[in-house]
Amino acid sequence: MEKREQLYEGKAKKVFATDDPNLCIVSYKDDATAFNGLKKGTILGKGAINNRLTNHFMQQMEKAGIPTHFVEELSDRDTVVKRVTIVPLEVIIRNVAAGSFSKRYGVEEGTPLHEPSIEFSYKNDDLGDPLLAEGHIYAMALATREELKTITDYAFKVNELLKAELIADGVELIDFKLEFGKTPDGKIVLADEISPDTCRFWDAKTHEKLDKDRFRRDMGGVEDAYREMLHRILGE
Site residues (vs ligand UDP, CB under 6 A): 90, 92, 98-101, 129, 175-177, 198-200, 212
Minimum CB–partner distance for residue 166 and ligand UDP (Å): 13
Shortest Cβ distance from residue 182 to ligand UDP (Å)? 20
Distance CA 41, CA 37 (A): 10
- Report in angstroms how near the CB of residue 227 gets to ligand UDP at its nearest: 18
What is the Cα–Cα distance from 92 to 82, expressed in whole angstroms? Answer: 23
Look at the chain and count its residues: 236
Using the minimum distance from each CB to ligand UDP, give the nearer residue, 37 or 220. 37
CB 154 within 8 A of CB 147: no
Which residue, 198, 184, 8, 190, is CA-closest to 85? 184
Q: Would you say 15 and 24 are in contact if contact means Cβ atoms under 8 Å apart?
A: yes
Distance of alpha carbon 144 from alpha carbon 170, whole angstroms: 38
Output the smallest distance, CB 195 to ligand UDP, in A: 9
- Residue number with CB closer to ligand UDP (175 or 228): 175
d(CA 162, CA 32): 24
Alpha-carbon torsion (156, 227, 73, 213), positive or negative: positive
Question: At closest approach, how far in Å is the CB of 130 from ligand UDP?
Answer: 11
Nearer to ligand UDP, 19 or 105 (CB): 105
Residue (50 or 198) nearer to ligand UDP, CB: 198
- Measured CA to CA, the distance from residue 116 to residue 112 in angstroms comes to 9
Q: How far is the CB of 5 from ligand UDP (least distance, A)?
A: 27
The smaller minimum CB distance to ligand UDP, of residues 55 and 121, is found at 121
Kindly report the number of other CB atoms within 10 A of residue 44's CB atom: 12
Q: How far is it, in rounded angstroms, from Cα 191 to Cα 84?
A: 8
We find the least distance from the C-beta atom of residue 79 to ligand UDP, in angstroms, to be: 18
Pick the closer one to ligand UDP by CB: 3 or 157.
Answer: 157
Which element (helix H / strand E) includes 25? strand 23-28
Q: What is the number of the residue whose Cβ is closest to ligand UDP? A: 99
Nearer to ligand UDP, 23 or 169 (CB): 169
